[in-house]
Structure 1
Amino acid sequence: MSQVRTRFAPSPTGFIHLGNIRSALYPWAFARANNGVFILRIEDTDEERSSQAAVDVILEGMQWLGLNHDEGPFYQMQRMDRYKEVVRQMLDQGLVYPCYMSSAELDALRERQMAAKEKPRYDGTWRPEPGKTLPPVPAGVKPVLRFKNPQGGSVVWDDKVKGRIEISNDELDDLVIARPAAADSDEIIGTPTYNFCVVVDDMDMGITHVIRGDDHVNNTPRQINILRALGQEPPIYAHLPTVLNEQGEKMSKRHGAKPVTQYRDEGYLADAIVNYLARLGWSHGDDEIFSRAQLIEWFNLDHLGRSASQFDEAKLRWVAQQHMKTAADAMLAGLVRGQFAARGVSLPAALDDGRLAAMCALFKDRCSTTVELADWLGMYVADVIPPAQELAEKLTDAVKPAVAAFARRLADAAWEAPAINQALKDTLAEFKLKMPQLAIPVRLLVCGRAQTPSVDAVLALFERSVVLARLAA
Structure 2
Amino acid sequence: MMKIKTRFAPSPTGYLHLGGARTALYAWLFARKLGGEFILRIEDTDFKRSTQQAIDSIIESMNWLKLDIDEGPYFQSKRFKRYNMVIHDMLLTGTAYYCFCSKERLYELRSEQIAKGEKPRYDGRCYKRYKHHIEDKKNPCVVRFRNPQHGKVIFNDLVRGSIEFDNEELDDLIIRRSDGSPTYNFCVVVDDFDMAITHVIRGEDHINNTPRQVSIFKALGAPVPSYAHVSMILDENEHKLSKRNGAVGVMQYRDDGFLPEALLNYLVRLGWSYGNKEIFTIEEMKTLFTLESISKSSSTFNSEKLLWLNNYYINTLEAGYVATYLAWHIEQQGIDIRSGPKLPDLIKLLGPRCKTLKEIAATCRYFYEEFHEVDIHIAKKYLCPLSAVILEVILMKLKLLTEWTPNMVHVTIQETSKKLNIDIGKICMPLRVAITGVTHSPPMHLTAHAIGKSRCIDRIINALTFIKYYEKEKI
Relative to the length of structure 2, the TM-score reads 0.92
Query: Alignment length, in residue pairs?
Result: 458
After alignment, is 446-455 or 109-118 more displaced?
Answer: 446-455
Aligned partner of 2:368: which letter? V
Q: CA offset at residue 392 of structure 1?
A: 2.7
Match of 1:259 in 2: 249
Asked whether 1:373 is paired with 2:360, we answer yes
Q: Deviations over 1:11-48 (max 9, x none)?
A: 11122211222111110111111111111000000101
Q: CA offset at residue 361 of structure 1?
A: 0.9
CA contact (8 A) 1:417 1:457 kept: yes
Q: Kindly, what percent of the aligned residue pairs are identical?
A: 40
Asked whether 1:113 is paired with 2:113, we answer yes
Q: CA offset at residue 416 of structure 1?
A: 0.6
Aligned partner of 1:390: which letter? I
Q: Trace 1:319-358 onto structure 2 (pairs within 5 A).
A: 319-347=309-337, 349-351=338-340, 355-358=342-345
Structure (1/2) with the larger helix percentage: 2
Asked whether 1:430 is paired with 2:403, we answer no
CA contact (8 A) 1:289 1:322 kept: no
Q: CA offset at residue 203 of structure 1?
A: 0.3
Match of 2:37 in 1: 37
CA contact (8 A) 2:13 2:51 kept: yes
CA contact (8 A) 1:90 1:96 kept: yes
* Runs (5+) with no aligned partner, structure 1: 182-189
Aligned partner of 1:324: which letter? I
Aligned partner of 1:99: which letter? C
Q: Deviations over 1:289-322 (max 9, x none)?
A: 2222211111110111111111121221112111
Aligned partner of 1:372: which letter? E
CA contact (8 A) 2:339 2:368 kept: no
CA distance in 1, matches of 2:295, 2:307: 22
Matched residue SS, 1:2 = coil
Q: RMSD between aligned alpha carbons?
A: 2.0
Distance 1:133 1:20, change over 3 A: closer
CA distance in 2, matches of 1:304, 1:373: 35
Match of 2:370 in 1: 383
CA contact (8 A) 2:87 2:96 kept: yes
Q: Trace 1:28-427 onto structure 2 (pairs within 5 A).
A: 28-128=28-128, 140-180=138-178, 190-347=180-337, 349-351=338-340, 355-384=342-371, 385-413=373-401, 414-427=403-416
* Runs (5+) with no aligned partner, structure 2: 463-475
CA distance in 2, matches of 1:398, 1:13: 63
CA contact (8 A) 2:335 2:365 kept: no
Distance 1:110 1:433, change over 3 A: same
CA contact (8 A) 1:394 1:437 kept: no
CA distance in 1, matches of 2:95, 2:356: 56
Q: Deviations over 1:105-127 (max 9, x none)?
A: 11111011111111100011122
Match of 1:472 in 2: 461
Asked whether 1:442 is paired with 2:442, we answer no
CA contact (8 A) 1:4 1:208 kept: yes
Q: CA offset at residue 340 of structure 1?
A: 2.1
CA distance in 1, matches of 2:24, 2:392: 59
Aligned partner of 2:374: which letter? P
Distance 1:351 1:148, change over 3 A: same
Q: Deviations over 1:370-414 (max 9, x none)?
A: 111112321112223433333333344234222112112112211
CA contact (8 A) 1:321 1:368 kept: yes
Aligned partner of 2:99: which letter? C
Relative to the length of structure 1, the TM-score reads 0.93
